[in-house]
């Protein structure tokens, strides 16, 4: 029997919270590589909250995934057939595999050094780690002695942000959902304090924990949590707008931050960024991140789900906070 390529395509554009039924599973023939191409068997998929924006037909930093097309996504796979110099069957590669079991790649797929842990390649040493690194150091312009506040702190990106700041000797407070994630932040990731936004008054707690104000606020969440942080920015604060996961699945755009005027009074700077712009500088980030992981200064978790058929359900975990660490799927 000939093997088929299973793939998840975008079936409908979600309205409000994305649903599993917005994707459809298809079976097609396994593609054949042409000259300069490789045939890759996907083994791992990585999930990003931004995927919710990729399936909306609204202006964004990349074009929307067209209806009926394979869902876009980063993955790691193994080269099965190669017609591309420098790539051999058995090589592990990383790239935009999409949600499919077989994919045709080219030189744009990065060969992973032998022995690389795909979970690490898709998290701390991948887009996630680079987002934390360049977001904090370049957009946040971290200075020695800065007090750092991170929202979405127990997540893949936020946890690396806080630990980089700790590696630089800065006091760090994280905001996360639930006691288990908060305990992980203080006991394992070395944060000075954690605020459970599900049970605590976030604005009041930031005030108690950061009496001299917040110098760098790395925000992954937006909405009320952004407001709570803005209420406590120090003079010359830098607010890094990395993401706004609280808004990604809202049907209507929320109104702007209530406390934005604090930026004027405190001579602050609020700046967004997209990590893609920093990819040419990936090697410098990877070198530092690798060293911090090796030294035990960056602790990381991967939340590994199993089975290709579970790809849409795995994406949904990000929006309920079910994931503990980088959300991955092992096929």
Ligand X SMILES: NC(=O)c1ccc[n+]([C@@H]2O[C@H](COP(=O)([O-])OP(=O)(O)OC[C@H]3O[C@@H](n4cnc5c(N)ncnc54)[C@H](OP(=O)(O)O)[C@@H]3O)[C@@H](O)[C@H]2O)c1
- The residues binding ligand X (CB under 6 A) are 48-50, 127-128, 131, 152, 154-158, 176-178, 181, 220-221, 242-243, 245-246, 273-275, 318-319, 321, 323
Residues 6+ apart with CB under 8 A from 320: none
Residue nearer to ligand X on the CB measure, 39 or 318: 318
Q: Which is nearer to ligand X, 6 or 181 (CB)?
A: 181
Q: CB 207 → ligand X: shortest distance, Å?
A: 20
Assigned token pair, 61: 């930093």
Cα(98)–Cα(89) distance, integer angstroms: 20
Q: How many CA atoms lie within 13 A of 173 on its CB side?
A: 23
Q: What angle do CA 237, 187, 324 make, to 5 degrees?
A: 85
Helix, strand or coil, per DSSP, at residue 196: strand
Q: Shortest gap between Cβ of 224 and ligand X (angstroms)?
A: 8
Closest approach of ligand X to the CB of residue 37, in Å: 28
Query: Given the complex with ligand X, which of 50 and 290 has the nearer CB atom?
Result: 50
Instruction: State the Cα–Cα distance between residues 35 and 108, nearest whole angstrom.
Output: 14
132: buried, middle or exposed (CB in 10 Å: 19+, 13-18, 0-12)?
Answer: buried
Which of 39/46 has CB closer to ligand X?
A: 46
Report the Cα 137 to chain-centroid distance in Å: 17
By beta-carbon proximity to ligand X, the closer residue of 14 and 26 is: 14
Q: How far is the CB of 268 from ligand X (least distance, A)?
A: 19
Q: Which is nearer to ligand X, 40 or 242 (CB)?
A: 242
What token pair was written down for 270?
Answer: 């609020």
Q: Helix, strand or coil for residue 100?
A: strand
The SS3 of residue 82 is strand
Query: Closest CB to ligand X among 221 and 233?
Result: 221
Least separation in angstroms between residue 184's CB and ligand X is 10
Are the C-beta atoms of 271 and 238 separated by less than 8 Å? yes
Closest separation in Å from C-beta 29 to ligand X: 33
- CB of residue 223 to ligand X, shortest distance in Å: 7
């Amino acid at each position: 029997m000939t093997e088929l390529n299973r793939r998840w395509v975008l079936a409908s554009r979600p309205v409000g919270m994305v649903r599993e039924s917005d994707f459809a599973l298809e079976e097609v023939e396994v593609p054949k590589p042409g000259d300069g191409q490789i045939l890759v068997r996907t083994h791992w998929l990585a999930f990003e909250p931004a995927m919710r924006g990729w399936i909306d037909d609204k202006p964004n930093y990349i074009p929307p995934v067209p209806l009926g097309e394979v869902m876009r996504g980063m993955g790691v796979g193994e080269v099965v057939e190669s017609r591309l110099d420098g790539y051999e069957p058995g090589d592990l590669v990383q790239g935009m595999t999409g949600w499919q079991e077989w994919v045709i790649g080219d030189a744009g797929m990065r060969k992973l050094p032998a022995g690389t842990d795909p979970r690490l390649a898709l998290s701390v040493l991948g887009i996630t780690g680079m987002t934390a690194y360049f977001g904090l150091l370049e957009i946040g312009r971290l200075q020695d002695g800065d007090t750092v506040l991170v929202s979405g702190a127990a997540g893949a990106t936020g946890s690396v942000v806080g630990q980089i700041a700790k590696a630089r000797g800065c006091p760090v407070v994280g905001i996360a959902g639930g006691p288990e994630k908060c305990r992980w932040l203080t006991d394992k990731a070395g944060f000075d304090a954690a605020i459970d936004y599900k049970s605590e008054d976030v604005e009041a707690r930031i005030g108690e924990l950061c009496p001299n104000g917040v110098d760098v606020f790395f925000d992954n969440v937006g909405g009320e949590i952004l407001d709570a942080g803005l209420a406590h920015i120090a003079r010359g604060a830098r607010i890094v707008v990395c993401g706004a996961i609280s808004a990604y699945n809202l049907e209507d755009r929320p109104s702007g931050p209530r406390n934005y005027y604090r930026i004027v009074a405190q001579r602050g700077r609020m700046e967004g960024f997209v990590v893609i712009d920093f990819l040419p500088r990936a090697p410098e980030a990877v070198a530092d991140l690798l060293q911090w992981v090796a030294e035990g200064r960056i602790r990381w978790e991967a939340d590994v789900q199993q089975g290709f058929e579970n790809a849409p359900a795995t994406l949904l975990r990000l929006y309920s906070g079910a994931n503990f660490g980088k959300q991955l799927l092992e096929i």
